[in-house]
Amino acid sequence: METRQAIDLARQKELDLVLVGPTASPPVAKLLDYGKWRYEQQQAEKETRKKAKRQEMKSIKFRVKIDEHDYQTKLGHVRRFLEAGHKVKVTIMFRGREMAHPELGKKILDRVAEDLAEIAVVEMKPLMAGRDMNMVLAPIPPEKRTKKLEREEAPAQDVAEKEPAGE
């Protein structure tokens, strides 16, 4: 169909003539309501943005001389952030003579990672940065958490089945 005929046909049907393949020989065009098509594209983009989960980097700071209750409170905050789907940057702050004992900070970060192992994975291992030691935890998706728990529970069930039940 010639260009002039295509334009006439588009006007008759009150549609737009949209060039789909301008580099093809002959060029490819399509008859459609461009306003409606554009609106549908915008709605689809809006829907995908709505479904996309924004992941923030939350941060929590610990001190080397942290008490058990304070540790548990901050651990609860980290757990809440991870369950909400956010990554968490855990920082140990060192002051003065504490800088001489970075192993104490690493011990705390390792404990945090161990306590949250069922819901988080260490994305960035503990590293010193100036007077701070940082570690980043990323949440494990809920569907993968259950699989991990099932794998951990399975060996315990096998041992229970092998033991004689009556002794």
- Specify the CATH number for the domain of residue 138: 3.30.110.10
Q: Are residues 30 and 101 in the same domain?
A: no
Q: Which residue has the higher pLDDT, 60 or 49?
A: 60
Task: Tell me: do 133 and 68 sit in the same domain.
Answer: yes
Q: How confident is the model at residue 87 (pLDDT cuts 50, 70, 90)?
A: very high
Instruction: Give the three-state DSSP class for 67.
Output: coil
| Count of structural domains, the chain | 2
User: Do 69 and 120 lie in a common domain?
Assistant: yes
Q: What is the pTM of this model?
A: 0.58
Specify the CATH number for the domain of residue 34. 3.10.20.80
Co-location of 73 and 126 in the same domain: yes
Instruction: Supply the pLDDT for residue 167.
Output: 46
The two structure tokens encoding residue 160? 């229970």
**16: buried, middle or exposed (CB in 10 Å: 19+, 13-18, 0-12)?**
middle
Instruction: Look at 155 and 124; give whichever has higher pLDDT.
Output: 124
Structural domain span for residue 68: 57-142
pLDDT mean over 115-144: 89
Distance CA 58, CA 98 (A): 25
Average pLDDT over residues 24-37: 87
Residue 115 sits in the same domain as residue 131: yes
Preceding omega of 22 cis (within 30 degrees of 0) = no
In a domain, 156, yes or no: no
Q: What is the mean pLDDT of residues 44-57?
A: 82
